[in-house]
Chains A and B, each alone.
Chain A
Amino acid sequence: MSLLELKDIKKTYLLGNSVWMKRKTVEAVKSVSLTLEEGVCLGLVGESGSGKSTLGKIILGLEKPDQGEVWFQGKNLYGLKSKELKELRRDLQVVFQDCYSAVNPRLTIREIIAEPVRNYEKLTTAQEKKKVQDLLVTVGLCPEDMYKYPHQFSGGQLQRINIARAIASKPKLIILDEAISALDVLVQVQILNLLADLKEAFQLSYLFISHDLQAVNYISDRLAVMSSGEIVEWLDDMEQLERLEHPVSKKLMSSVLPPYLGLGSGTKMIY
Chain B
Amino acid sequence: MLKNVKRKLLSHKLIMISSLIIFFMTLLALFAPFLAPNDPNLVDITHKLQGSSSKFPLGTDHLGRCIWSRLIYGIRTSLGTAFLVMGLTMIISIPIGIYAGFRGGWVDYLFMRICDILMAFPSLLLSLALIGILGPGLGNLILAMVLVQWIFYARVIRGMVLSVKKQNFILAAEVCGTPTLVIVIKHILPTIISQVVVLAFMDIGGIILAISGLSFLGLGIQPPGAEWGMMINDSKPFFRTHPSLMLYPGMMILIVVIAFNLFGEALRDVLDLRKE
Q: Which residues of A contact B (CB under 8 A)?
A: 57, 60-62, 86, 89-90, 92-94, 96, 98, 101-104, 106, 115-116, 119-120, 149, 162, 165, 169
Contacts and interface: CB of A to CB of B under 8 A. Distances in A.
A120 B174 CA distance: 13
B174 A116 contact: no
Given A104-B187, A115-B178, A162-B172, 17 more contacts: A61-B175, A62-B174, A62-B175, A89-B177, A93-B175, A93-B176, A94-B171, A94-B172, A94-B175, A101-B169, A103-B169, A106-B191, A115-B173, A119-B177, A149-B1, A165-B172, A165-B176
B172 A102 contact: yes
B159 to A, nearest CB: 14
Interface residues of B, number: 17
B108 to A, nearest CB: 11
Contacts of B187: 104
Interface in B154-185: 167-169, 171-179
B interface SS class: helix
A163 to B, nearest CB: 12
B167 A86 contact: no
Contacts of A94: 171-172, 175
Nearest to B176: A116
Contact of A120 (B177, B186, B190): B177
Interface in B248-276: none
12 contacts: A60-B171, A86-B177, A90-B177, A94-B171, A96-B168, A96-B172, A101-B169, A103-B169, A103-B172, A104-B191, A165-B176, A169-B176
Nearest to B188: A104
A104 B176 contact: no
A193 to B, nearest CB: 23
Interface string B230-242: 0000000000000
A62 B171 contact: yes
A102 B169 contact: yes
B175 A92 contact: yes
A75 to B, nearest CB: 15
B143 to A, nearest CB: 34
B177 A169 contact: yes
Closest 3 CB pairs of A and B: A116-B176, A102-B168, A119-B177
A111 to B, nearest CB: 9
Of B168, B171, B174, most A-chain CB atoms within 10 Å: B168
A119 B172 contact: no
Interface of B: 1, 167-169, 171-179, 186-187, 190-191
Contacts of B177: 86, 89-90, 116, 119-120, 169
B168 A115 contact: no
A119 B169 contact: no
Contacts of B171: 57, 60, 62, 94, 96
A33 B173 CA distance: 27
B168 A60 contact: no
Contacts of B176: 89, 93, 115-116, 119, 165, 169
A94 B173 CA distance: 10
Contacts of A106: 190-191
A89 B178 CA distance: 10
A233 B106 CA distance: 40
Given A96-B168, A98-B168, A106-B191, A60 B178 contact: no
Nearest to A86: B177
Contacts of A62: 171, 174-175
Contacts of A90: 177
A119 B172 CA distance: 13
A75 B91 CA distance: 42
A90 B177 CA distance: 7
Contact of A119 (B1, B168, B178, B190): B178
B41 to A, nearest CB: 49
B71 to A, nearest CB: 43
Given A101-B167, A106-B190, A106-B191, A89 B175 contact: yes
Nearest to A94: B175
Nearest to A88: B177
Nearest to B171: A62
Nearest to B1: A149
Contacts of B1: 149
B72 to A, nearest CB: 41
Nearest to A175: B175
Contact of B175 (A60, A98, A103, A149): A60
